[in-house]
């Protein structure tokens, strides 16, 4: 998800990120006649305090170690771009192939590993805002319900998925999924454009997980039919609701900052 407040919907692990950082290596050959000590004392050669020395039979290497906040931020930024590049052009995930799914999942895992654990109680304000869904692995099944039951897209039903947003208010605990849809109509009638808002309440469970509870669905026509009033869709009684659709769900926030959020659902869905 990329926050629209910043106009955009990944801490650092030493084991996984050190290879991503640029390194400065100075090789001083023992075979050379140059006096190594005098060479290092000259002003044009500056060895930072963050360098360590590795010696071999024939040379000595000075390698810059990661550790500064600036270096970590650069790595995080590059991994965010890598993930966004992996999921771009996939129509929110509807056009994702098996290879695309693996590529996106791998890029997300790199980011999650480098960023470390999320602490939502301390970073709750980062959830606030209107987020745009860029990618969901669940949409690769070609249904609007993702890994849960939902209407299919394509030839079976003339439904075209538009943009998907999440509107989160940390004070009121509102968590709304907003979906833009286009419904086909027989010629010569134009397609009907509408926006469905699935209203939820949310609560934190643990340090990085969120539980949402469904409340209601409101449908509002847009475009040529925008003058029509919004319609609240009646909720299916609990006794008739499929066991897989309980009206609530959970997901884990695996990365969050001021403009990017990565989550994994209770059925393994990756969302950006």
The answer to whether position 42 is within a domain reads no
Predicted structure pTM score: 0.70
* Domains of the chain: total: 1
- Higher pLDDT: 77 or 184? It is 77
The answer to whether position 116 is within a domain reads yes
Continuous segment of H or E residues that includes residue 16: helix 14-17
The answer to whether position 235 is within a domain reads yes
Q: How far apart are CA 133 and CA 178, in angstroms?
A: 10
180 forms beta bridges with 195
The answer to whether position 16 is within a domain reads no
The answer to whether position 29 is within a domain reads no
Give residue 229's domain range. 70-147+157-271
Q: How far apart are CA 272 and CA 133, in angstroms?
A: 6
**pLDDT tier at 7, thresholds 50, 70, 90:** very low
The answer to whether position 1 is within a domain reads no
Integer angstrom CA distances of residue 45 from 37, 40, 53 = 11, 6, 15
The answer to whether position 37 is within a domain reads no
pLDDT in tens, 24-83: 333 434 444 445 455 444 444 444 444 444 444 445 444 444 567 888 889 999 999 999
pLDDT of 89 higher than 70: yes
- Give the dihedral sign, CA 72/75/80/83: negative
Copy the structure tokens of residue 172: 């009121």
Copy the structure tokens of residue 262: 């990565």
Integer angstrom CA distances of residue 244 from 145, 248, 249, 264 = 11, 10, 10, 18
pLDDT in tens, 208-252: 999 999 999 999 988 878 788 888 888 776 666 666 666 689 999
């Amino acid at each position: 998800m990329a926050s629209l407040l910043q106009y955009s919907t990944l801490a650092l692990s030493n084991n996984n990120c050190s290879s991503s950082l640029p390194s400065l290596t100075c090789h001083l050959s023992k075979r050379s006649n140059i006096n190594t000590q005098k060479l290092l004392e000259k002003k044009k050669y500056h060895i930072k305090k963050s360098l360590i020395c590795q010696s071999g039979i024939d040379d000595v290497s000075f390698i810059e170690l990661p550790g500064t906040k600036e270096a970590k931020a650069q790595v995080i930024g590059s991994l965010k771009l890598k993930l966004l590049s992996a999921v771009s052009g996939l129509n929110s995930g509807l056009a994702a192939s098996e290879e695309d799914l693996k590529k996106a999942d791998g890029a997300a895992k790199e980011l999650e590993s480098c960023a470390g654990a999320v602490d939502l109680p301390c970073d709750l304000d980062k959830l606030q805002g209107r987020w745009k869904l860029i990618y969901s692995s669940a949409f690769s099944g070609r249904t609007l319900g993702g890994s849960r039951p939902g209407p299919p897209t394509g030839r079976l039903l003339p439904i075209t998925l538009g943009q998907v947003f999440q509107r989160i208010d940390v004070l009121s605990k509102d968590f709304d999924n907003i979906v833009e849809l286009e419904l086909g109509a027989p010629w010569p009638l134009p397609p009907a454009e509408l926006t469905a808002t699935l209203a939820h309440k949310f609560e934190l469970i643990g340090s990085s997980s969120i539980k949402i509870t469904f409340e209601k669905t409101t449908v509002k026509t847009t475009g040529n039919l925008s003058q029509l009033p919004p319609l609240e869709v009646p909720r299916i009684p609990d006794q008739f609701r499929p066991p897989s659709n309980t009206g609530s769900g959970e997901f884990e926030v695996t990365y969050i900052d001021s403009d990017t959020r990565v989550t994994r659902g209770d059925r393994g869905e990756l969302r950006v």
